[in-house]
Amino acid sequence: MTNDRVPSATVQDECIRLSAPGVEVLLDVSCGYPVVLHWGAPTADVTPAAARVLADGGASHGDFDEPVEPGMLRESARGFTGRPALRGHRGARDFSPLFRVDDSRVDDDRVGRAVAVLHLSDTAAGLALEQRLTMTPQGVLLLDTTLTNTGHGVYTLDELAVWLPVPDRAIQTLDFAGRWLRERQPHRLPMAPGLRVREGREGRTGHDSTIVQCAVTDATTTETGEAWGVALLWSGNTVHMAERDQVGRGALGAGELLEPGEVQLAPGESYTVPTVAALYSNHGLDGMGARAHEWLRARPEHPDAARPVTLNVWEAVYFNHDLATLTALADRAAQVGVERFVLDDGWFGARRDDTSGLGDWVVSAAVWPDGLAPLVDHVKSLEMQFGLWFEGEMVNPDSDVYRLHPDWILHVPGRVPPLARHQLVLDLTHPDAYAYVLDAVHAVISGYGVDYIKWDHNRRLTDAGHAGSPATHSQTLAIYRLFDELRLRNPGLEIESCASGGGRVDLGMAMHADRFWTSDQNDALERQHIQRWTSLVIPPEMLGTHVGPAPSHSTGRVHSVNMRAITALFGHAGIEWNLLDATDVELAALADWTVFYRAHRRLLHRGRVVRVEHPDPTALVHGVVAADGASAVFAYVQCATTSGTRPSSFRLPGLLPGVLYRVRGVTFGGLGAVALRAPLWVEHGVEATGTALATIGLRAPILWPEEALLVVVERSDA
């Protein structure tokens, strides 16, 4: 896949063809409503007439006399008995719409994307729809749908989702679930008859949210086979769906999960579904990931500067802020190569623990009698950026702002929501509350020249109401607006989205933040799986990956500095560890690691992510291959004790077949192993072609459980 080929949109015989390298969509409007005849690999210019015949399934007894394809709208008025795309009503009326295409067109949106636009209406129901399908140069299909009330009286919208059919060979679903400290764990299941629904009702995407809803064939792996996926560009309540109807056809759907009565359209008012990104690959799940990464990286707002090595002090000092300790920590950080120093929770108001002060965005005079300037100046004198923690959407009841404005919280009239982490949610749809947060946060950022903010969100929304009405939708739009305004007021400011770690990692927030805190889990073994699947659609340079302490604060496990460092390398690397407690050996290993990261971060953050299929379930193999195939970095991770005394060989796919490469093993602080000697390539390196490395591979060393080895691959003629 390349970024330099322009996608196309053509019309033939009332069939719209949207195509980009490796993917094609055929949208038929000849029957008066939109029917997707094909979404997948290019069809070698099959004619619309032939495509319609190929899609026709005939008629069975017990069906309608002339059965029709449900189309993208899946209307019950056409005889579809599954979940319709649109559900709503006008009192007891207009509950069963029947849309017709009024006009359709294809265009170029002048930024190199191909676009198809359909206008549909149901005049009897007083409703109009606009469907916009945009094919990006990277082969990502973006779908936007707007519903307008053209009738009399209020129309209550219950759901408007985007649906796309998948071929019959897509017989499995793949989505992701999890919890705090264990986000985005894969679940692969048969696409059984009926409806699979993954709902997020936290008011944020949540730790249990599926980052993408996929359908795959039985043979699909990370490296090979076909995969289809839909992902919502939204950070509020969500719904992702997979359905196989009684006819036997499968489809994927996604949309915003609306609270009862949350969207009520007065005459002339409209609602637009959050954009849905549709991803197809015939090169396995990694091909799907590559499309998503290329698309996100092509955005003008994508962080393009080298991602600095970041030290966050939360697990180093927690709430124990002390200037002498923190300046000493900054000195130690600079010595090992840290480029950004982030002061976490506890610098403001009466915030000595998590029970008070949240929402009072004024530097604590008790802890910082001279303000933050002494620390900020010291950090910047060491040529590091300075970052600061906020949780601007939240408030402690024990805070000045809540005592003054108890009405500034999301709530249902007459009651206060239950506390979570001793806090409530500020109502950013309240104009005064929004203005207060924006101005207070901006004053601190601009006053101290803050380069970067870590923005946390430590509780789910409960009773998320404003003036008696549901407000999750408008609250989500408000945080997008606030982030955009902070960056407008403070050019160059970078924002990390954190929500108790990975509770708000989604493609919607990716449009407004520069980095995600992938998880509060800093245990390197647990992180291997979390990072592996979060990066399916989010590129590594947007994922915070830190070297945590030993033992891990979340699991108590003790891992070598080498295992922790290699795990943290594959993302926007950093440190979450009190370096004042580190030994000289550990500090030397970290210094070597930051040198390696800085030398290779362009590759790590612009290359193609590869998740290697490996025969040994006790080991993981993954890496990043440069776009030109000139170099690569892989990790072999021994997650548990291997079954054989000589571990299985592992392959290094994605390299150029006829090119000779130098291969060497790299560690940081030494390798935990139990062998009499390591394989020869580990001790002395080896030269081999890309073909040999992808087929024969390398024999893995005999490592301790929960240990890792880095493999560096470079062209011999480089």
The model's pLDDT over 626-635, given as tens digits with 9 standing for 90+, comes to 999 999 999 9
**Average pLDDT score, the chain:** 96
Does residue 1 form part of some domain? Answer: no
Closest CA to 549 of 223, 329, 241: 329
Residues 621 and 600 in one domain: no
pLDDT, average across residues 30-45 = 95
Instruction: Note the Cα 238 to chain centre separation in Å.
Output: 14
Amino acid letter, 543: L
Please say if the pLDDT value at position 202 is more than 70. Answer: yes
Domain boundary among 297, 323, 358: 297
Strands 340-343 and 310-312 come out as parallel
90 and 55 fall within a common domain? yes
Reduced 3-state DSSP string for 594-623: HHHHHHHHHHHHHCEEEEECCCCCCEEEEE
pLDDT tens-place string over residues 587-618: 999 999 999 999 999 999 999 999 999 999 99
For residue 168, the Cα-to-chain-centroid distance in whole angstroms is: 28
Q: Is pLDDT above 60 for 501?
A: yes
- In the prediction, which pLDDT does 147 show? 98
- Same-domain pairing of 409 and 525: yes
| CA 579/CA 588 separation, integer angstroms | 11
Catalytic residue (one of 28, 345, 360, 456): 456
Task: Dig out the tokens for 104 from the structure.
Answer: 């359709």
Q: What does the pLDDT read at residue 673?
A: 82
Q: Do 254 and 318 share a domain, yes or no?
A: no
Nearest to 565 by CA among 666, 702, 650, 497: 666
Report yes or no: 475 and 455 within 8 Å, Cβ to Cβ: no
Is the model's pLDDT at 3 over the cut of 60?
Answer: no
Neighbours of 492 (CB within 10 A): 9
Same domain as 595, residue 528: yes
Could you tell me if 650 and 601 lie in one domain?
Answer: no
Any domain includes 304: no
Kind plus residue range of the DSSP H or E element containing 310: strand 310-312
Whole-number pLDDT of residue 4: 52
Q: What is the pLDDT of residues 296-344, one digit of tens each?
A: 999 999 998 999 999 999 999 999 999 999 999 999 999 999 999 999 9
Dump pLDDT digits (tens) for 384-443.
999 999 999 999 999 999 999 999 999 999 999 999 999 999 999 999 999 999 999 999
Spatial separation of the C-alpha atoms in residues 481 and 495, rounded to whole Å: 13
In this prediction, residue 679 carries a pLDDT of: 94
Same domain, yes or no: 483 and 598: yes
pTM: 0.97
520 catalytically annotated: yes
The number of beta carbons lying within 10 Å of the beta carbon of residue 60 is: 9
Q: How many other CB atoms sit within 10 Å of the CB of residue 9?
A: 23
Spatial distance between the Cα atoms of 2 and 299, rounded to a whole number of angstroms: 15
| Rounded Cα–Cα distance for residues 641 and 702 (Å) | 9
Q: Is 474:461 a contact under the CB 8 Å cutoff?
A: no
* Residue of 208, 286, 360, 520 with catalytic role: 520
**pLDDT value for 8:** 95
Catalytic residue at 456?
A: yes
Which amino acid is it at 325? T
Please report, for residues 562, 709, 718, the alpha-carbon distance to residue 671 in angstroms, rounded to integers and kept in the order given. Answer: 7, 7, 28
CATH of the domain at 396: 3.20.20.70
At which of 570, 605, 640 does a domain end? 605
Domain of residue 58: give its range: 8-297
Q: Which two tokens stand for residue 546?
A: 């830190």
- What does the DSSP 8-state code read for residue 249? -
**Cα–Cα distance between 373 and 354 in angstroms, integer?**
24
What's the pLDDT at 45? 84
Residue 694 CA to residue 701 CA, distance in Å, equals: 18
Q: For 85-101, how does the pLDDT look when each residue is reduced to its tens digit (9 = 90+)?
A: 999 999 999 999 999 99
CATH of residue 174's domain is: 2.70.98.60
Higher-confidence residue of 64 and 406: namely 406
- Paired tokens of 11: 């019309």
Q: Distance (Å, rounded) from C-alpha 391 to C-alpha 386?
A: 17
- Give the length of the chain: 718
State the average pLDDT over residues 658-675: 93
Same domain, 646 and 565: no
Domain boundary among 576, 605, 634: 605
* Within-domain flag for 391: yes
- The answer to whether position 708 is within a domain reads yes
Q: Look at residue 265 and tell me if it is in a domain.
A: yes
Phi first, then psi: give them for residue 227, nearest 5 degrees.
-150, 140
Strands (E), 450-528: 452-455, 465-466, 469-470, 494-497, 515-517
Q: Would you report the helix, strand and coil content of the chain in percent, each value rounded to 5?
A: 20, 30, 45
Specify whether the CB–CB gap between 623 and 636 falls below 8 A.
no
CATH label of the domain that carries residue 655? 2.60.40.1180
Do residues 224 and 272 both lie within one domain?
yes
pLDDT value of position 408: 98
Q: How far apart are CA 299 and CA 250, in angstroms?
A: 32
Q: What per-residue confidence (pLDDT) applies to 64?
A: 86
- Give the separation between CA 170 and CA 176, rounded to whole angstroms: 17
Q: b or e along 173-208 (b: 16 or more beta carbons within 10 Å of the residue's beta carbon)? A: bbbbebebbbbbebeeeebeeeebebebbbbbbbbb
Nearest to 425 by CA among 695, 236, 290: 236
Half-sphere exposure of 479 (CA within 13 A, CB side): 31
Structural domain contains residue 19: yes
Q: Are 686 and 649 in contact (CB under 8 A)?
A: no
Is the pLDDT reported for residue 222 higher than 50?
yes
pLDDT at 67 over 80: no
Measured between its terminal Cα atoms, the distance across the chain in Å is 24
Residue position matching structure tokens 């080896």: 686
Q: Are residues 252 and 342 in the same domain?
A: no
Do 632 and 582 sit in the same domain of this protein?
no
Q: With bands split at pLDDT 50, 70 and 90, how would you rate the model's confidence at 2?
A: very low
pLDDT over 70, % of the chain: 99
User: Which residue type does 123 have?
Assistant: T
Instruction: Answer yes or no: is 349 within a domain.
Output: yes
Quick one: pLDDT band at residue 110, thresholds 50, 70, 90? Answer: confident
pLDDT at 1: 37
Count: domains in the chain: 3
Same domain for 349 and 200: no
Considering the domain boundaries, does residue 3 fall inside one? no
Q: Which residues pair with 256 in a beta bridge?
A: 238
User: What share of the chain has pLDDT > 90, as a percent?
Assistant: 94
User: SS3 for 551-582, per residue?
Assistant: CCCCCCCCCCHHHHHHHHHCCEEEECCCHHHC
Q: Quick check: bond before 274 cis, omega within 30?
A: no
CA distance 417 to 640: 44
Beta strands 572-575 and 543-547: pairing type? parallel
